[in-house]
Amino acid sequence: MEKIKKYIYLAIALLLVVIFRQLNMTQIKEDLLLLPPVFLVLLIALQVFTQTIISLQWCTILEWNGMSLGFWKMLLINFRSSIVEAITPGAKIGGEAYKTVALKRELSCTMEKSASIVALQKMFSFFGLTSLAGFSGLYFFIINVDNGKNIGWVLGSLVMAAVLGLMIYSFLNPTAAGEKLKGKNKIGKIAKSFFISYGICVTNIKEKPFGVFKQLLMTFTMWMTYPVKLYIILLAFSIDISMLGVIAITFGAYVVGTLPVTPGGIGGFEMTMCGLLAMVSGVGLEQALVISVIFRFITFWLVVGSGIVLTGLEKMLLFKKEGLYD
């Protein structure tokens, strides 16, 4: 498995080298400088809004399950998890593992309970992403009907539909898997305990008035801020793409970015967005790369950088409080 990963990384690296050798770096520098400061401020403000919605969703899920964690503490945990996501292969698995451990520590609860909370939030988040990714597949299927290059988009949409079906089933029948497990060995007992805990968490959400609706509203509000950011970047470069096209490009790239191939989906996300931008708008490779880099900086690297800075500040304050830092 490790050898396969090495070959994949090598192939991606070679592909990136080939692409960059074809780029006009002078043109890229000029395009980067074209982004007006007012657009940059607006993009950062939107990213702050995104992080706020995510942290509020976590806080409400915890509250509705009889636990409490301050907004700022949850925000810091989310920022820290982004650092882990940047160094682990896609699908945010590393970040979610960190959140599981962090919530267990902060809430003094069992690992099964914290894992259940993480799984529940992940279910809502993936439901939103998968739904929008399914729309993306349908959009590209429609615009490629005439040239016959739509088999991949059909298959992609069918996969998204299947994943959605599984998530809906797991939400409607949260205890089904746990009831089928006998839990005779250690792993079986842990799995059974997790599914029972997950079922309780799901039930708590469903029993709240409009609980599921509120969670889905926060989920889709959060996800829709991403195409809005891309749309603003496109406006800054005077590129005219319909909002439906922008949504399709955004979530087409995000689906590829979640594949567990490279840390943080680096490379795969950017290349996919470049290709989809060129397909929909016909922009040059250099400009498409600039747009994807700006988008990625705002939505990913800015968050990772903020996590590093905030973690460093917290450690400094802790050392100062304990008299270990002057």
CA distances to 151, 152, 249, 256 from 148, in Å: 8, 10, 19, 22
pLDDT at 215 over 70: yes
- The predicted model scores a pTM of 0.81
What are 18-28's pLDDT values in tens digits? Answer: 544 544 455 55
Phi, psi of 155 (to 5 degrees): -60, -40
CB neighbourhood size of 316 (10 A):
12
Half-sphere exposure (Cβ direction) of 283: Cα atoms closer than 13 Å = 23
Answer whether 258's CB lies under 8 Å from 91's CB. yes
> What local confidence, expressed as pLDDT, does residue 152 receive?
60
At 246, the amino acid letter reads V
CA-CA distance, 186 to 16, in Å (whole number)? 45
Query: Which band of pLDDT confidence, cut at 50, 70 and 90, is reported for residue 49?
Result: very high
> What local confidence, expressed as pLDDT, does residue 14 receive?
57
> What local confidence, expressed as pLDDT, does residue 233 receive?
92
Phi, psi of 89 (to 5 degrees): -55, 160
pLDDT at 281 over 60: yes
What are 144-169's pLDDT values in tens digits? Answer: 655 555 566 666 666 667 776 776 77
pLDDT at 202 over 80: yes
**Vertex 268: Cα angle to 290 and 93 (nearest 5):** 120
The least confident of 56-65, 102-111, 238-247, 285-294 is 285-294
Percent of the chain with pLDDT over 90: 20
Q: What does the domain layout of the chain look like in residue ranges?
A: 2-296
H or E stretch covering 196: helix 186-207
CB neighbourhood size of 208 (10 A):
14
Closest by CA to 291, choosing from 242, 247, 324, 250, is 250
> What local confidence, expressed as pLDDT, does residue 58 receive?
94
Query: Which band of pLDDT confidence, cut at 50, 70 and 90, is reported for residue 292?
Result: confident
Mean pLDDT of 50-57: 94
